[in-house]
């Protein structure tokens, strides 16, 4: 059963347009079409059942073109995982840039959490590939998922350091404790994707935000 939350973080206008622009910048090339074809096929059939024929047919390219870019199906999958992580990182950076220059740590953390959840819903195929399918393929793909977690941990560290600069009474927090935030959010997201689907992830944004702020010892934005 999905958890319902009474409130949701404020959503800034223009998200869909900014997301579309970021996506097109990554996927409009021939290599990008192959990556997108891999993602769509894996979402439809799963990685084991996806064939080279499926990929080139969806991308509308020849087999020789595929081999111009990738040595095999597995390499294409790893590139897809890398692309999914890059799309997420780009979207978070872009939404943070929409905040006022004097935005505090709480506003930045809220933006990170909300953007993560909304991007999962906007890119369900990529989200499933990175957070679910990568664990069944190879270590390189899992490595890109772990890279995403590390990037999130660094963002939370920067936000907390900003909060401490504004309030020196806040205690030091270890990197290991901060890393628990994206670890836990990523695992819960993976489970929700599998049970309820990526579209349900934005409903969890208030819960994720509360968890992040509580872990950091900061007040949750009202």
pLDDT exceeds cutoff 80 at 80: yes
Which pLDDT score is estimated for 196? 95
Domain limits of the chain? 15-216
The string of pLDDT tens digits covering residues 120-156 is: 999 999 899 888 888 777 666 667 677 778 889 999 9
Please report the sign of the dihedral spanned by the C-alpha atoms of residue 115, residue 135, residue 139, residue 150: positive
Check whether 8 has a pLDDT greater than 50.
no
Q: Which residue in 131, 126, 116, 122 sits closest to 205, CA to CA?
A: 116
Q: Kindly report the pTM of this predicted structure.
A: 0.84
CB atoms within 10 A of CB 167: 10
User: Domain 15-216 is classified in which CATH homologous superfamily?
Assistant: Tetracycline Repressor, domain 2 (1.10.357.10)
- 37 C-beta neighbours (distance < 10 Å), count: 22
Q: Encode pLDDT of 39-78 as tens digits.
A: 999 988 888 899 999 999 999 999 999 999 999 999 999 8
Mean pLDDT of the 209-222 span: 92
pLDDT of residue 24: 67
- pLDDT of 96 reads 95
* Look-up of token digits 């999130």: 152
DSSP state of 29: S
Residues whose CB is less than 8 angstroms from the CB of residue 165 and which lie 6 or more positions away in sequence, other chains included: none
DSSP assignment letter at 39: H
pLDDT tens-digit profile of 9-48? 445 557 667 766 666 666 668 888 899 999 999 988 888 8
Task: Indicate whether 92 pLDDT > 50.
Answer: yes
Three-state secondary structure of 105-116: HHHHHHHHHHHH
Gap between the Cα atoms of 40 and 46, Å rounded: 9
Contacts of 138 (CB under 8 A, 6+ apart): 74, 77, 78
């Amino acid at each position: 059963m999905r958890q319902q939350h009474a409130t949701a973080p404020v959503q800034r206008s223009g998200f869909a347009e900014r997301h579309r622009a970021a996506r097109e910048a990554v996927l409009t090339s021939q290599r990008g079409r192959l990556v997108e074809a891999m993602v769509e096929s894996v979402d439809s059939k799963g990685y084991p059942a996806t064939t080279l024929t499926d990929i080139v047919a969806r991308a509308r390219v020849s087999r020789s073109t595929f081999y111009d870019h990738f040595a095999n199906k597995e390499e294409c999958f790893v590139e897809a995982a890398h692309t999914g992580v890059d799309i997420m990182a780009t979207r978070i950076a872009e939404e943070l840039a929409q905040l006022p220059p004097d935005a505090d740590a709480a506003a930045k953390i809220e933006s990170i959490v909300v953007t993560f959840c909304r991007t999962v819903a906007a890119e369900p195929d990529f989200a499933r590939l990175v957070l679910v399918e990568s664990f069944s393929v190879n270590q390189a793909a899992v490595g890109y998922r772990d890279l995403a977690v590390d990037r999130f941990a660094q963002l939370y560290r920067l936000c907390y350091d900003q909060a401490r600069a504004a309030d020196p009474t806040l205690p030091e927090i270890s990197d290991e404790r901060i890393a628990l935030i994206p670890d836990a959010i990523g695992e819960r997201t993976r489970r929700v994707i599998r049970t309820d689907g990526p579209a349900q992830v934005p409903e969890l944004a208030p819960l994720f935000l509360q968890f992040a702020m509580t872990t950091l010892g900061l007040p949750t934005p009202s």
